[in-house]
């Protein structure tokens, strides 16, 4: 016997051995609960994303006005709440900050919000990071 559980068009579970009715009910309940939990989680990540974007905009102002950044781009998981977790940080690519100012700039933008900020010097970033930066949003 093969049991296939489908929700919508997605195959959720395919079991190749016989199972009893109680086990089948538990599996279905677990799948339904996981889907409901995902909806709640995504709503929470959407709100966290909103907060992250606010923090990123403030950081961009600080970097431009206080440290001479000529350009700031937000990239990474913060662009799509469906790819975020509770540990998602703010990835900011920056241009125009002097090397000796990066540490002070990093400390300055970490204040006043719950996010870790990774400052990336876009002018010296490796190719795989540049690819992600090109998919980002200029602030």
Output the pLDDT for position 19. Answer: 72
Region 70-80 average pLDDT? 96
Taking the complete model, does pTM exceed 0.85, yes or no? no
The answer to whether residue 94 scores a pLDDT higher than 60 is yes
What is the average pLDDT value for the chain, to the nearest integer? 87
Output the pLDDT for position 33. Answer: 73
Output the pLDDT for position 91. Answer: 97
DSSP string, the chain: --EEEEETTEEEEEE-S---HHHHHHHHHHHHHHHHHHHHHHHHHHHHHHHHHHHHHHHHHHHHHHH--SEEEEESGGG-GGG--TT--EEEEEES--GGGHHHHHHHHTTTSS--EEEEETTT--HHHHHHHHTSEE-
d(C-alpha 10, C-alpha 128), whole Å: 32
**Between β-strands 117-121 and 90-95, what pairing exists: parallel, antiparallel or unpaired?**
parallel
Q: Tens of pLDDT along 97-138?
A: 999 999 999 999 999 999 999 999 999 999 999 999 999 999
Output the pLDDT for position 61. Answer: 98
What is the band of 4 on the pLDDT scale with cuts at 50, 70, 90?
Answer: low
Region 42-49 average pLDDT? 94
The answer to whether residue 23 scores a pLDDT higher than 80 is no
């Amino acid at each position: 016997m093969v049991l296939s559980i489908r929700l919508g068009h997605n195959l959720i579970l395919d079991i190749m051995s016989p199972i009893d009715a109680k086990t089948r009910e538990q599996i279905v309940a677990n799948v339904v609960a996981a889907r409901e939990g995902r909806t709640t989680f995504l709503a929470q990540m959407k709100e966290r994303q909103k907060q992250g974007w606010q923090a990123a905009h403030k950081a961009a102002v600080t970097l431009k006005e206080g440290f001479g950044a000529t350009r700031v781009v937000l990239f990474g998981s913060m662009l799509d709440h469906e790819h975020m977790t509770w540990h998602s940080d703010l990835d900011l690519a920056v241009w125009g900050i002097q090397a000796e100012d990066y540490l002070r700039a990093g400390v300055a933008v970490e204040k006043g919000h719950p996010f870790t900020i990774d400052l990336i010097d876009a002018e010296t970033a490796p190719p795989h990071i540049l690819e992600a930066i090109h998919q980002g949003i200029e602030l």
